A and B are shown apart, each in its own frame.
Chain A
Amino acid sequence: MNNREKRGLLKRILAKRGMGQVITVTIGLIAMVVVFSFLNPFFLTSRNISNLLRQIAPTLITGIGQSYVLITGNIDLSIGSVVGMSCMMSATLMTKGVNPWTAVLITYAAALLMGFLNGQLISKAKLPAFIATLGTMTIARGIAQIVNNNYNTDSIGQAGAGFMDFFYYGKTFGLFNTIWIAFALWLIFNFILSQTRTGRHLYAVGSNIHAAHLSGVNISATITKAYLVSAFCSCTVGLITTAISGMGTMDAGTGYELYAVAASVIGGVSTLGGQGILLGTVIGAAIWGVLQNGLQFAGAPVAIRNIVIGVIVIITVLLDILVRYNKKAGRRQAAAEGTHVSV
C-alpha cells in the first residue's frame, strides 16, 4: 500500500512538466562529477564540495532571478550591473561609517528600485525587455562607478566583520552561510513560483500574454514582480561579493546575467517564456559550477573553461529543441485529423 503510494508520488513527480529536462541534465551532472572525481582524487573531498557549493551559490541566486524573468517571456540583462552597483553601494556606505546592516537595507532598496524601473519600462511603457534592461544595465554600472568617485572602495574593515561572516565566511551547521542563503532563497522563490497565485500568473504571462490579460491577470504587476525578484537576487549576490573581498569593486558581477541565463537554460527554463522550474536552475547552476571547479582542478586555463561552458549551453538547448521538435511534430500530426488547426 505504502509502496504503491510512493510509486504514485514518483510517477506524479516524473509527470510534472519540465521534469524531463531536469532529469536529463541531472544525469549529465552526475556523469561530470564521476569524471572529475576520477581525474582528481581531491574533487570529492568534503572540503572541495563545501567550496564548490559556495562557488555555485551566486550563480544559483542570480539564476533564480533570471528564471523568474525568463518564465514571463522576458530577459534581464541588468543582473551583472546590479550586482556591481550593490557591491559598490554597500561597501561605500560601510567605509563611510554607516552601520553594515543599515547599508544592506539601503542597498536592497536601491536595487529593488532598479528592478521596479525594469518592470515598469517593460510592462507599462512597452519597451522590449532586451532594450529596457540594456539601458538599466548601463545605468546601474554607471552608478557603481559614481558612488565612490570612480574608485574601488577601501576595505570595509573591522566594522564589517559580522557582515562578512554572515554573507560569506561564517558557517552554520557545518556549511558556509552563503550556501544557506542560496538554499533559503531557493526554497522561498520555488514555493512562490510553484504554489502561489503570483507564480501561476508568471507562467501564464509568459505562455500567452493576451489570454492572461483577458483572464484578469494584472500583466504589469506580474512582470514587475519578476524583475523585483531578479533585482533582489542580484543585490544579494552583490552583498556576497562585497563580503568576499571586504571591499567594493566597480566591475563586480560583469557577465553574471549571462551565467544566470546559462544556469536557467541548461536547467530547462525556456527563453520563450512559460516554461521551466527552479529545480532545473539548481542543476544548471551546479553544472556550471562543477565545470568551472573541475576544469580548474584539471588544470585547464580560463579560456578553455569558457569555451567548454559555452559549448555545453548550446548542446543542452539544442537537445531540448530536438526533443521538443519531435514531440511537437507528433502532436501536430495527431491534431491534423481535426480540420481546425489552431494558429
Chain B
Amino acid sequence: MSEYIVEMHNISKGFPGVQALDQVSFTLKAGEVLGLLGENGAGKSTLMKILAGVYTKDEGTIKILGQEVPFLTPHSAQGLGIAMINQELNLCDHLTVAQNIFLGREVLRGGRLAERAMNESAARLLEEFQIDIDPETLVGDLPVSKRQLVEISKALAHNAKILIMDEPTSALTAKEIQNLFATIKRLKKEGCGIVYISHRLEELQHVVDRVMILRDGKYIVDMAFRDTNLDEIISYMVGREITEKFPRVETKRGEKVFEVKNLNAGRLVRDINFSLYEGEILGIAGLMGSGRTETLRAIFGADPKTSGQIFIHGEEVTISNPEDAIRAGLVLVPEDRARDGLCTRLSVRENIGLPNLDHISNRLTVVNHRREMEITAEAVQDFDIRLASEESLAESLSGGNQQKVVIGKWLARDSKVVMFDEPTRGIDVGSKVEIYQIMNELKQQSIGVVFVSSELPEILGISDRILVMADGRITKELKVEEATQDLILHYATQFEKKLDPVEQIEVG
C-alpha cells in the first residue's frame, strides 16, 4: 500500500483561452506539510480546487487514501476528508462560532436544535487545539485571524484529513501566525496532510516539510525543504535567477515636500509627526493593527481627524475629505483593492478615469472620452497592465494587474505625494518587482512616496527611511542603513504598558 493519502496523476485542466494545468502530478503524505508554490497563474489554486471538487479535471486520475476517485464534487470531497480553507472565509457573520462549526449538520434533540450540546462539543474541539475562542461569540464580532481559526476548526469537526490552506497568514499578526503554525504542527502529528499555499516565502521554513513548484500550469520541481533555500525556490518559480530582489535606485534627497504635524484620529493614530523629502521613499513598518492604515486614511481625509496639520511644499493644506486631498496633490493607493480601490464591475477605462474626471472633462463637466482613452492607454502602457481591452471589467484582471490599475488611476494626474498601503499584498513576485519600480520612478521624479508594508524585507529593500509604528504611535524612525529586521520588530512590539482608562472605555 502506498504511503500517500493523495495521489494525482497527469491532471490537465483547460479554461477558455488558457491551459491552466498541463499533465501535473501531485502527491501528499500523511503527517506532511507541503508548500505548493508558484506565481499567480501558475495553477496552484486550480489544482487544489480540483482536489476539493470545485472544478472537474479534463484528464488524469485522482487517488485518495489509495482509492481511485473518478468523480469529485465539493460534497463528496468533504466526505473523503478534504477541506479547503480559502482566503475569502466561508462563514456566516450572524451566527455564532458553534453554529458555524455545525452548520449543515446540526445536532438535534427531539427535533429541536441542541444548542448546548453543540456549544459544548465546539468548546471541546477548540480546547483540544488550544484555540482561545468562546464558541458562543458571533463570528462577525471576531477579528479575521480568529475567523480563520474557526474555519480550521470547522474543517476538523468534519474529520478532515487533508487540509488545503490558501494564503492563511495574509491577515494575521506575528503572534497569530505562531498560533496557527502551532496548530498546523499539532495537526501534522495527528496524521493530517496539509497543503500550504503562500506567497510569503519567509514563513515556509517554520512549517513546511516539502515544497512543490508549479509554473505556467506545469510541474517544475518537488524537493525536501531542508535541501533547498529561498533563492533556489524563487528561481524555480520565476524560471530565472533574480539577482536583485529589490531594485533600489539612489537619488539625492531634496527639499521637504510633505509634513504631518501632531496628527490625531482615534486610538490608532496618536501624535503622528513626520516629514518627507524629495527623492525618498518613506517606509512605514508595524504589525497588523498598529495604526498604519488608519494614519494614511486620516491624512487622506477618508476618516475624520481630531487634530493635526498637513503641509505640502511648505504650505498648509486643509484636508477634510478625499476630494481635498486629491486637489492638494496627495493621493492614496488603498490596502484592500477589491473593497477600496476598484469599482470591479466598471471597466478599466472608467476606473482610471474616475479620480481624473476633473482633468478630462470640460467646464460643463462633459467627459472627453478621447482624453479618457488616452490617459488609460498611457497608464496601460506605462505600467504594463495586461488586459484584453481597456473596456474589460476590472474584476476580470488578475490581482497584480488590478493593483496596477489602482496605481495607474492615481498616477495619471500630477500628484505631489503618493501613499501606498500594502501595494504588493497577494500578488506574484513579478508584479511586485514592477510595483517597486513604479515607486522608484516616482522617487526619481521628486514625488514623495509613503510606503506601508507588513513585509519587512520589502520595507528594508525599498525605503530610504523607515518609521516604525506600534499602538497608533511612531515608536522609532530608522535610516535604512541602520535598520534590520530584528530592530524593526523590536520597535514594532513596543506596545504601551497600560491603556488610559478613558480610552479603554472607548475601545470597549
Interface residues of chain A, those whose CB is within 8 Å of chain B, are 15, 17, 195-201, 203-204, 207-208, 210-218, 274-275, 330-331, 333-343
Q: Are B46 and A336 in contact (CB under 8 A)?
A: yes
Mask, B391-419, CB within 8 Å of A = 1, is 10001101100100000010000000000
Give the CA-CA distance A199 to B332 in the complex, in Å: 23
How many residue pairs link A and B with beta carbons under 8 A? The number is 145
Interface-central residue, B88, B166, B300, B395, by most chain A CB under 10 Å = B395
Question: What interface size band does chain B fall in?
Answer: 35 or more
Please provide the chain B residues from 36 to 63 with a CB less than 8 Å away from any CB of chain A in the complex: 38, 40-46, 49, 55
A208: nearest chain-B partner, CB-CB: B343
Q: Are B46 and A214 in contact (CB under 8 A)?
A: no
Q: A203-B350, A275-B345, A330-B16 are in contact. List 14 more A-B contacts (CB 8 A).
A: A195-B366, A197-B358, A204-B350, A207-B346, A208-B342, A208-B344, A208-B345, A210-B340, A217-B323, A218-B321, A274-B343, A337-B40, A338-B45, A340-B426
Which of the residues A15, A196, A210, A334 comes within 8 Å of B339, measured between beta carbons? A210
A197-B365, A213-B322 known; A343 vs B88 contact (CB < 8 Å): yes
Flag whether B355 is at the interface (Cβ < 8 A). Answer: yes
Flag whether B450 is at the interface (Cβ < 8 A). Answer: no
B48: nearest chain-A partner, CB-CB: A339
CB distance from A142 to the nearest CB of B (A): 36
Flag whether B507 is at the interface (Cβ < 8 A). Answer: no
Q: Are B343 and A343 in contact (CB under 8 A)?
A: no
Flag whether B334 is at the interface (Cβ < 8 A). Answer: yes
B298: chain A residues within 8 A (beta carbon): none
CB distance from B220 to the nearest CB of A (A): 15
Nearest 8 CB-CB pairings of A with B: A207-B343, A340-B399, A340-B426, A342-B338, A215-B355, A216-B326, A197-B365, A338-B40
Flag whether B217 is at the interface (Cβ < 8 A). Answer: yes
Mask, B352-393, CB within 8 Å of A = 1, is 011101100100111100000000000000000000000100
Which of the residues A15, A200, A339, A340 comes within 8 Å of B353, measured between beta carbons? A200
- Majority secondary structure, B binding face: mixed
- Majority secondary structure, A binding face: helix
Give the CA-CA distance A261 to B15 in the complex, in Å: 37
CB distance from A162 to the nearest CB of B (A): 32
B44: chain A residues within 8 A (beta carbon): 339
Q: Are B41 and A337 in contact (CB under 8 A)?
A: yes
Q: Are B354 and A217 in contact (CB under 8 A)?
A: yes
B358: chain A residues within 8 A (beta carbon): 197
A334: chain B residues within 8 A (beta carbon): 15-18, 396
B396: chain A residues within 8 A (beta carbon): 331, 334-335
Which of the residues A200, A207, A210, A340 comes within 8 Å of B357, measured between beta carbons? A200
